[in-house]
Chains A and B, each alone.
Chain A
Amino acid sequence: MNNLTIKEARRQLKAREISSVELTKSYLETIKKHNEQLNAFITITEKEALAQAEEADKRIAKDESTPLLGIPIALKDLYMTKDIKTTAGSRVLENYIGQYDATTVMLLKKAGAVILGKTNLDAWAHGSSGENSDFGPTKNPYNTEYVPGGSSSGSPVAVAAEMALAASGTDTGGSIRLPASFCNVVGLKPTYGRVSRYGVIAMASSLDSIGHFTKTVEDNAMYLQVTAGSYPHDGTTPPVSVPEYIKNINAGVKGLKIGVPKEYFIEGLDPRIKELTDKTLKWYEGQGAELIEISLPHTPYAIEVYYIIQTAEVSSNLARYTGVRYGHDRRYLGDEAKRRIMLGTYVLSAGYYDAYYKKAMQVRTLLKKDFEEAFKKVNVIITPASPTLPWKLGEKTDDPLAMYLSDIFTVHANLVGVPGLSVPMGFINGLPVGMQILGPHFSEEKLFQVGHAFELANPVWKERPSL
């Protein structure tokens, strides 16, 4: 089943070349084989998955067709699942059983997906490396001495290591785009509000974006087709129509205006990543796209704004974990959660509110204007997804600030709410490197076109890890 995509699996299921039960068993076997080494899953839901696969096979036999019928996927363990353990990667919820399905889980089930289990993550989605999980770090399948990126760490690893055909994640400051880049998979952070947040454990409510990982851009578009939309339990999902994402995915990039922001090509960007990005941009130019140098002048301040607004919202969202209604009490919170709660409490506290929180909200307006100006001149913006290659396990764990700075290329999009797609660009020293394609609000269809054009000509995703 190597290198199987959702698209190809659907074809084989439809043609009765394979059954969903066979497919599901094969993924469960791979999970059992590699999970000890990679630590991608916290919970494996074998029994439920096989029941769902059997049900899918019955529906296929009746020639039913739903978008993900019989397709085995995994969920970041931040997604609430009814009657299934939902831990958020934290000891606080180590025994917590989900009380209802998140909207996206309900939609994925309705689309026929088979849920293999819940994937590892930095506790409460706080982290950039996957090491901050109370259930142990996830390892990068391309080199297990390296981090897979976080906070959605298990999901991209599951997709890269053939432990699931696709997997969900969340992106509050880069938690999908960074690990996608580190694991040679495609990761989408949709427009804020494009996908319902209901039932996904909240990190920072004005920034949280509900996205997913797949091997290819085409698969990614198919998955978003299922999850996107305006749903009543999340009041921040605007009633913007959902296009048929796959329909014009082959539109190509001729005449496309690509913005190249000078603030991203700075000191601190690994020169090898710069070189690979330049090569990618040249490829687009060769296909008839136009490269335009742009400026997003407030970029250097995005991380500061992010670590004020995000921690403020974290301190508020984590206040509910008192152990009264479910879970353990606050003594079970890890150091990183405590750091963020205290920082957030501080920036919101009397006497400091104006200097930090209000100031950050004002600069957030300026960051928004940067993008508004840029998108008057260009259709999309392309940057590297990360300034550095994946780092070695343990390298940044004692230095929170250094860890925070890993998100320097990704937080901007969350503060502004625009979508970003991470697409594999190539390898350096055997480690994957991705690009980030950004577009205006609700431009996912365009991002898929741009990413798909590249992956058709440069199928970097086919390079699977050898485990």
Chain B
Amino acid sequence: MKINIPHIAKLANLTIAKDQESMFETQLSSILTYIERLNEIDTTGVEETSQVTGLENVTREDKSLPSMPQEDAIFQATTYNSFFAVKGVFENE
């Protein structure tokens, strides 16, 4: 087995139906086998590229600017006292 679907699904906050696990496992394993062809290339000492703009540390002035009104931000959410409602983190409190 190349990839443990229940474990990865848990890390990714996904719910995968039991009857779909083997399909995903087969598909993702074959893709992983394919991309492992990269090991044919010797990358000793090659630096990594994570972006291609050549820009570094782009910042703006530390000044507050107008932002989205609260009503616009929350009108599509389930709210509680005008805050986003989320599940409790500490279950007994």
Q: Identify the A interface with B (CB < 8 A).
A: 95-97, 99-100, 192-193, 206, 232, 235-236, 238, 298, 301, 304-305, 307-308, 315, 319, 322, 324-327, 330-331, 333, 335, 338-339, 341-343, 345-346, 349, 356, 358-366, 368, 400-401, 404, 415-417
Contacts and interface: CB of A to CB of B under 8 A. Distances in A.
A368 B46 CA distance: 12
B18 interface: no
B13 interface: yes
Given A99-B72, A238-B55, A342-B3, 12 more contacts: A192-B53, A235-B55, A307-B35, A327-B76, A341-B14, A342-B24, A343-B32, A359-B38, A364-B49, A400-B31, A401-B27, A416-B52
B76 A96 contact: yes
Contacts of A193: 53, 55
A362 B16 contact: no
A327 B78 CA distance: 10
Q: In the complex, which of the residues A335, A346, A366 has the most CB atoms of chain B within 10 Å of its own CB atom?
A: A346
Given A359-B43, A366-B41, A238 B53 contact: yes
Interface of B: 3, 5, 8-9, 11-16, 20, 24, 27-28, 30-32, 34-35, 37-41, 43, 46-55, 58, 60, 68, 72-74, 76-78, 84-86
A237 to B, nearest CB: 8
Give the 9 A-B CB pairs with smallest separation, nearest first. A417-B52, A361-B48, A235-B58, A362-B43, A326-B76, A304-B35, A364-B49, A345-B12, A362-B46
Contact of A338 (B24, B32, B74, B76): B24
Nearest to B27: A400
B86 to A, nearest CB: 6
A401 B31 contact: yes
11 contacts: A99-B72, A235-B58, A236-B51, A298-B41, A322-B13, A325-B77, A349-B11, A363-B41, A366-B43, A401-B27, A401-B30
Contacts of B52: 192, 206, 368, 415-417
Nearest to A318: B12
B35 A338 contact: no
B5 A342 contact: yes
A275 B77 CA distance: 55
Contacts of A305: 38
A324 B31 contact: no
A173 to B, nearest CB: 14
Contact of A346 (B3, B14, B47, B51): B3
A324 B46 contact: no
Given A324-B86, A338-B16, A236 B53 contact: yes
B35 A361 contact: no
Contacts of A333: 14
